[in-house]
Structure 1
Amino acid sequence: MFIQKAWRSTAFGIYGYLNFTKSGFLEHSKKFKEEDMKMQIQGKNCVVTGANSGIGYATAEGLAKRGATVYMVCRSKERGEAALSKIQSVTGNQNVFLEVCDLSSVGEVKSFASRFSSKDQPVHVLVNNAGILEQNRSTTSEGLEVNFAVNVAGTFTLTELMVPLLEKAAPDARVITVSSGGMYTTPLTKDLQVALTEKWTEMYGNKGIGFYTMHPGWADTPGVTKSLPGFSKALSGKLRTNEEGADTVLWLALQPKEKLVSGSFYFDRAEAPKHLALAGTSSSHAAINSIVDSLRSLCGLSS
């Protein structure tokens, strides 16, 4: 077991350094097609969580530039308003709105979903970008560990409650979940990883909703600087920009669905492996059914 863990970490470090850094993006971008990003999506409603900074901000700005109606879901009203004002100014798109919601609270997520659903309008794109990496253990007022609360429980609850609105946008509806490369080093236990996207595809694929996960690479976001200062310092100048990190999110939002494979994991505009060779993580995906049942119960969602 120790040898396998050591192999996972070593393989991930090498794989990540070669692929997830800015140099990896520049190398992969040689294969990008410029026309893929020129599409305009006026009239499409896009919801982006964690949109006031980092990859979420770059995603919201990129969607607004292409004419979408963008709903920025942010925890901080003050930071959200500042980001909203900046995006409207830069893009000239006034159809950008702020929705205040703390994704670490299942109760707040339910309130937001109920409030948003009352608009009774289709959601064409849901981007599950919000995520945190707190090093010190703490719990929310609902008794959930804070990383789990945001990265799993809040994201799961929001996606489940958005399904009826996504159905209204079928067959073009899609959910894009930003994942962490850390999934390569650990089997599935109680974390989101890419398995929930596979499960959502199985459950809701016949409703005209596509589900995709993507890895942004190692980007120089405020979250990385705060949570992983040593990592950020060691790779100073080698990390991706927020725009480079958000590139595949935007690509997934813009492509015709027939070009995409629901349930798949994407990196730099291409399908990517979900497991590293010999890492011993693939068999753990069998646990997803019981995890989904547990999440439904934990988050108070009906089956």
Structure 2
Amino acid sequence: MIKSETSNEKIHARALDLSLQKDVKRFAREMLEQFPKIHYLINNAGVAGDMTERIFPNPAVKHEREMTKEGFELRMATNFLGPTTLTELLLERIKESGSPDEVSRIIHVSSMGNMYSKINPNDMDLMAARQPRFDVSLQYCNSKVMQLHYNCHLARQLKDSNTESVALHPGAVRTNIFRDVSSLGRLLLIDPMLWLLGKNSRQGAQTSIFCVVSDDQLNGKYLMDCRPAWFVHPSVGEEHHETKMINQQISANMMLEVLLYLGRVILKLLLIPWMLWLYKELTMGICYLTKKLDGKIVIITGGTKGIGFQTALGLAQRGAEVVVASHNAKETEAAVADLKEISGNPRIHARNLDLASQVSVRKFARTILEEFEAIHCLINNAGIGGDLLHKYLPNPDHGNPHKFTDDGYERIMATNFYGPLTLTELLFERVKASGKPGDPSRIIHISSLENYYAKINLFNLDLNSRKTPFDARAQYSNSKLLQLYYNQFLARKLKESNCQSVALHPGLVRTNFTKEFSVLGQWITYIKFLIVGKSAQQGAQTSIFAALSDEDLNGRYLSDCRDAWIVNPTVGREERETKIIKETKHLLGVP
């Protein structure tokens, strides 16, 4: 991927497990044999854990002290011991590679978490063997302050050489480092932090790149956002602290900086909700396309209310013949009557469909194939969520949220993924045959930003959550990620045809999908609605755009009528996607 994007063939892949000293030494020997010069060493790799586990424990993750085969605690071994050994073994080669005109550099990717470390110089318990209760967060912070101590130690050692040592804090970066955090911890702490202060991976890499290319004197410095960081543990920087690790009380100046920092945080917390609302309003995608759809057949699932109703209305007003499919016959008939009255289009039909039932899906598909000779657009809009806080604050009115359909499938997965996949496969050839050059037919999948938080184990597929503790949010996220996998799978299949597959995130739309949430869950969602929420009409704009646009949308994932930029990093991995989709089709008995 890097080679294709940069056209640089001088990129090499090497295996290295930083948690194992034996592997670090093997890697160092290979580097010294292969490269006569090493100009930059970036100690970037690291592991963290559930930073919120004391407040919001995750029952699916065991928070125990993990030891490597060599007897070192995993986080300290990976974040500090491994990089230190590697640096020492390569140090002379790196020093030889620097020159007065162009210094070589050793770069340590640390973290602002170093501020919260607690290392007793009189009892150097780096392996956390004597902690009364192992603290993942504390061990991570300790490993990060050790990186800064080592940076200062190296800087003094390199003072009169052509090599520099520099450390940095990349920022709160949206990566999978928080994958072990509980759903409640993510919802109440991690997600708000990342939305308020977070960076994407490219933004987070900027200070590391700056450390490589800068002509400034950086030896011994600790940077953040390409400039000196001011929020650092008080023991960093004085030689006797690096050698003896003696903790000091925070100085008066440090206290003043802390107070100023807290003041800025409070100001941000007051201003950022309004800034987020303004950003949402200014960047909201609105479909201004006036393309007519006379003679086109559109099928939309879940079109009786919310996004689906507004999408059906927008397409009906442009002349399309629309089939509205939903499981409640009475609601569907009422919605169709409203659509006909508002749009003035009599070619709108109500059909019964329960996506959670494979029997209903197959019956519906047969009816549609018998009734319509062409299907120009299939919109897989219907879906259900679940109470994100059900594990902590269950809603007694709705019983156990881990429910199964008559087919034996978990309800959220059956409705959001299994049903749409079966329907799409049964209608696939008809949709494909309905497209023309310059006027392709389309299959549209309504996914969600929640796909980013999905965790699907390729080697232990448990899509119905029978073997693992049920988590409504995780299940919902997984179903939305699988929609994106299926979108990519179809896009490759449709590459040379007159049919396209496209997925989209409609935004946080004010609909009734929170009806099964607990009171607290509803209030949290309501606050989100106030800040970044959309009306159903606004939420339908990207769906309408996907149906009307003349652009090549095959395989794309949209948000606000343009390409979405927050997506699960596993999307696009063909082998992974193909394996999961084929296994799902086999499970459902779909050819």
Aligned residues: 292
**Which residue identity does 1:223 align to in structure 2?**
F
Question: In 2, Cα distance between the equivalents of 1:233 and 1:120?
Answer: 41
Give the SS at the match of 2:509.
coil
Distance 1:204 1:283, change over 3 A: closer
* Farther-moved stretch of structure 1 (210-219 vs 9-18): 9-18
Distance 1:93 1:24, change over 3 A: farther
Q: Would you say 1:237 and 2:530 are equivalent positions?
A: yes
* Farther-moved stretch of structure 1 (185-194 vs 146-155): 185-194
Tell me the TM-score normalized by structure 1. Answer: 0.88
* Counterpart in the other structure of 2:407: 142
Give the SS at the match of 2:540.
helix
Per-residue deviation, residues 217-240 of structure 1 (Å, max 9, x unmatched): 101011145445233322243310
**Which residue identity does 2:49 align to in structure 1?**
F
Distance 1:13 1:262, change over 3 A: farther
User: Is 2:449–2:567's contact at 8 Å kept on the other side of the alignment?
Assistant: no
User: Is 1:210–1:262's contact at 8 Å kept on the other side of the alignment?
Assistant: yes
Q: Would you say 1:38 and 2:290 are equivalent positions?
A: yes
Q: Would you say 1:2 and 2:257 are equivalent positions?
A: no
Select 2:583's aligned residue among 291, 294, 302.
294
Give the SS at the match of 1:175.
strand
Gaps of 5+ in 1: none
Question: In 2, Cα distance between the equivalents of 1:100 and 1:198?
Answer: 29
Q: Would you say 1:197 and 2:487 are equivalent positions?
A: yes
Distance 1:13 1:246, change over 3 A: farther
Give the SS at the match of 2:501.
strand
* Counterpart in the other structure of 2:351: 99
The Cα shift of 1:273 comes to 2.6
* Counterpart in the other structure of 2:544: 250
* Counterpart in the other structure of 1:129: 381
Question: In 1, Cα distance between the equivalents of 2:296 and 2:192?
Answer: 37
Question: In 2, Cα distance between the equivalents of 1:214 and 1:181?
Answer: 9
The Cα shift of 1:6 comes to 5.7
Question: In 2, Cα distance between the equivalents of 1:121 and 1:274?
Answer: 38
**Which residue identity does 2:405 align to in structure 1?**
T
Counterparts of 1:9-158 in structure 2 under 5 Å?
Answer: 9=186, 10=190, 14-15=194-195, 23-29=278-284, 36-135=288-387, 136-158=401-423
| Structure whose residues are more often helix by fraction | 1
The Cα shift of 1:241 comes to 0.2
The Cα shift of 1:13 comes to 6.4
Per-residue deviation, residues 258-277 of structure 1 (Å, max 9, x unmatched): x133111001011123536x
Question: In 1, Cα distance between the equivalents of 2:573 and 2:416?
Answer: 19
Give the SS at the match of 2:502.
strand
Give the SS at the match of 1:81.
helix
Give the SS at the match of 1:194.
helix
* Counterpart in the other structure of 1:181: 449
Q: Would you say 1:263 and 2:263 are equivalent positions?
A: no
Question: In 1, Cα distance between the equivalents of 2:193 and 2:380?
Answer: 25
User: Is 1:176–1:213's contact at 8 Å kept on the other side of the alignment?
Assistant: yes
Give the SS at the match of 1:133.
coil
Question: In 1, Cα distance between the equivalents of 2:572 and 2:500?
Answer: 24
Question: In 2, Cα distance between the equivalents of 1:283 and 1:92?
Answer: 42
**Which residue identity does 1:262 align to in structure 2?**
N
Question: In 2, Cα distance between the equivalents of 1:117 and 1:12?
Answer: 46
Question: In 1, Cα distance between the equivalents of 2:279 and 2:324?
Answer: 29
* Counterpart in the other structure of 2:62: none
The Cα shift of 1:162 comes to 1.1
* Counterpart in the other structure of 1:216: 506
Distance 1:241 1:291, change over 3 A: same
Per-residue deviation, residues 246-291 of structure 1 (Å, max 9, x unmatched): 10000111111xx133111001011123536xxx645876421221
Gaps of 5+ in 2: 1-47, 51-176, 197-271, 388-400, 458-462, 464-478
Question: In 1, Cα distance between the equivalents of 2:381 and 2:583?
Answer: 23
Select 1:160's aligned residue among 419, 425, 438.
425
